[in-house]
Amino acid sequence: MEFGICWHLPPLDSIKINVDASLLDSNIASIGGIVRDHKGKFLFDFGKKKMHWDINQLEMESIFTLKEFLRDWMFESKDIIIEGDNYNVAKPSRFYDEINMQSSQFCFRVVISQWL
């Protein structure tokens, strides 16, 4: 089995947030993400433990949880790019601008730009 590389550096003066969720058979779950700058430098990570049975719901919550961890300086970025790997989360979204299918790997990308 061959897997493609999904992660790429964000454009200059942008930050990228990769989100994900994990779920055990016991319904104990973790959601969170990692934030990097345009050089790929680690800025911070975030996460929460949850109890839930639906991985799609958890993946969506990992995006919504981000608002609890946003910092004022992040809004100075040209773009904030949110990436994840759950097709069921990206498919109904009217916000995603890119779907990448590389080998057996999938990732979605949401670009939030032009802050008002």
Q: Which amino acid is at 35?
A: V
Q: Which amino acid is at 59?
A: E
State if pTM tops 0.85: no
Residue the block writes with tokens 């200059």: 12
Domain limits of the chain? 15-113
Which tens digit of pLDDT belongs to each residue from 16-39?
Answer: 999 999 999 999 999 999 999 999
State how far the Cα of 53 lies from the Cα of 69, in Å rounded to an integer: 24
Give Cα 87 distance to the centre of its chain: 12
Positive or negative, the Cα torsion across 70, 110, 5, 14?
A: negative
Q: 15-113, what's its fold?
A: Nucleotidyltransferase; domain 5 (3.30.420)
Answer yes or no: are the C-beta atoms of 82 and 36 closer than 8 Å: no
State how far the Cα of 82 lies from the Cα of 78, in Å rounded to an integer: 13
Q: Say if residue 64 is exposed, middle or buried (CB neighbours under 10 Å; 0-12, 13-18, 19+).
A: exposed
Q: Which of 19-33, 36-50, 68-82 has the lowest mean pLDDT?
A: 68-82
